[in-house]
Structure 1
């Protein structure tokens, strides 16, 4: 007779067969089942369109708002009733074109945007380069923390901080007083507005330049050095040309944001350095002239579009072109 089989005792090292299906997997299976019922496989060719529908809806609302604004700009304000007239007219646009004040405001806005782009990129490029190229993780983390801290503080709060720093009795003038320099008026002028805009736009520019610089292989700089180029020559002839897409993309973002800014001119300009956005606010909320305010808003849209169009026509779209060829 064969001997009875002995029971096998599982070894402590053997893998356990007691597998329990995790709850999160069950939830994912249920969601997947519901998605299959709601969006069957035959609808898969339209999945991409379904995903961008919320973005298209937002863009559609923006376009609708622009059409309504264009319609409002063709009606003048009746001063006797403070209601918009029923007749269509180009009087608001004529007022904007004939006004030396609005021409000065528009030129100031464009000039400040150009200076902001120049100084912001001048400061952001070395900051992003050091952050990307440093071999110390501690330095990189510190630079990232310093970069992201301003995003936790609103623009208005940062402008108030600059008011405290640049005031007559502020930190800057107190430091100048230590070396015997009399207090200087650092606020409520054009340089103060540009300084505030550069300080506000710097993190945006760094964040857009960092990926462009990361994409530049270190070996290219090493090869330039091996061929006799010093660091300045390598940076000028190798890094800058290869970082051009990032510079263009950052310049476009900084320029459009600076051109349409409201808080910095209002707070650091003291009412004497208004941009177009400030003039729009005055017409909508102070004089209640919605037609003239709408005309100014469309003027701002045109100026911003011209700025972007000229830059793209001359330099290309940079990183905003998503790899498209000319």
Structure 2
């Protein structure tokens, strides 16, 4: 080993790190090293345990009907709440609206997020990449409710869009409190999440692969369809799964941009808990929502394989 220079000084940060390591060795000796992994995931296990306990409580409430005379839950269990939810035309309409909204939001979000993520990864100009990153992260500094209020101001009857249309002789249009407004707001909210999930998958694709496809006669469209999209499948699936589940359970955007006429299932659950005080029916709807999300995730894993989300899908 080379000799240490005479004027070498042991940096203070190294001394601090040695002290922390010695303290950690006293608190958690090396003989306990095989249990280190379990120690690190203990907080996650506790969180999952709390969620399971919450689901058990919700399941118990869902089996108890509301006594309208005393406004107390029944002592006996029954499936009346589930039968009421499945037999009600209102809740079936809300469920269909939620599923359709999640599907439309996922499709439109992925269609917009892919070219954005591709430009972010492939651009060679640093200032363009910085501008795209700033534009991408800026919405995270603004809450979902604040953004929804912003769209209320922009798309209202006297908002900026209708004011601009009036300048060219177009009569004011109703741009809010309808289904397209809800889908628009959800796509705008989900877009940054989808881009962030797709960027790693696209960054893992070597640019030389596209160059090779072009040298073999493929144009940009065929290269994108036959080369880039298949190789970016893990990012697309992961982004689509996150967007679909978040859209299916969204509450704020349908409530604010829908104006009460375009409620999703989360809004119906809120109404049962806090407006009609029917916790049993609200719990039943919540369990049905959890079941729908679980089935969606299960179908994705069944069709594409769970490894696909970790860049190691089926061949």
CA distance in 2, matches of 1:319, 1:167: 43
Instruction: Map 1:207-286 to 2 at 5 A.
Output: 207-286=196-275
Pairing partner for 1:106 from 85, 89, 95: 95
CA distance in 2, matches of 1:182, 1:317: 51
Residue 319 of structure 1: how far off its partner (Å): 5.2
Please say if residues 249 and 318 of structure 1, whose CA atoms lie closer than 8 Å, have aligned partners that are also in contact: no
- The farther-off stretch of 26-35 and 240-249 is 26-35
Residue matched to 2:133: 144
Secondary structure of residue in 1 paired with 2:110: helix
Residue 172 of structure 1: how far off its partner (Å): 1.4
Residue matched to 2:118: 129
CA distance in 1, matches of 2:97, 2:305: 25
CA distance in 2, matches of 1:325, 1:56: 29
Larger radius of gyration: 1
| Count of aligned residue pairs for this structure pair | 312
Please say if residues 188 and 270 of structure 1, whose CA atoms lie closer than 8 Å, have aligned partners that are also in contact: yes
Residue 25 of structure 1: how far off its partner (Å): 2.9
Secondary structure of residue in 2 paired with 1:273: coil
Secondary structure of residue in 1 paired with 2:25: helix
Instruction: Find out whether 1:81 has 2:83 as its counterpart.
Output: no
Residue 30 of structure 1: how far off its partner (Å): 2.3
Structure 2: state its 5+ residue gaps: none
Render the CA deviation track for 1:206-250: whole Å, top value 9, x for unaligned. Answer: 001111000111111101111111111211111111111111110
Pairing partner for 2:29 from 40, 46, 61: 40
Please say if residues 269 and 285 of structure 2, whose CA atoms lie closer than 8 Å, have aligned partners that are also in contact: yes
Instruction: Find out whether 1:25 has 2:14 as its counterpart.
Output: yes
Pairing partner for 2:58 from 61, 64, 69: 69
Instruction: Find out whether 1:183 has 2:172 as its counterpart.
Output: yes
Structure 1: state its 5+ residue gaps: 1-14
Residue matched to 2:184: 195
Residue matched to 1:7: none
Residue 18 of structure 1: how far off its partner (Å): 4.4
CA distance in 1, matches of 2:35, 2:5: 44
Render the CA deviation track for 1:252-273: whole Å, top value 9, x for unaligned. Answer: 0000000000000000000000
Residue 79 of structure 1: how far off its partner (Å): 1.3
TM-score (norm 1): 0.92
- The farther-off stretch of 313-322 and 68-77 is 313-322
CA distance in 2, matches of 1:98, 1:311: 29
Residue 322 of structure 1: how far off its partner (Å): 5.7
Secondary structure of residue in 2 paired with 1:250: helix
Residue 111 of structure 1: how far off its partner (Å): 0.2
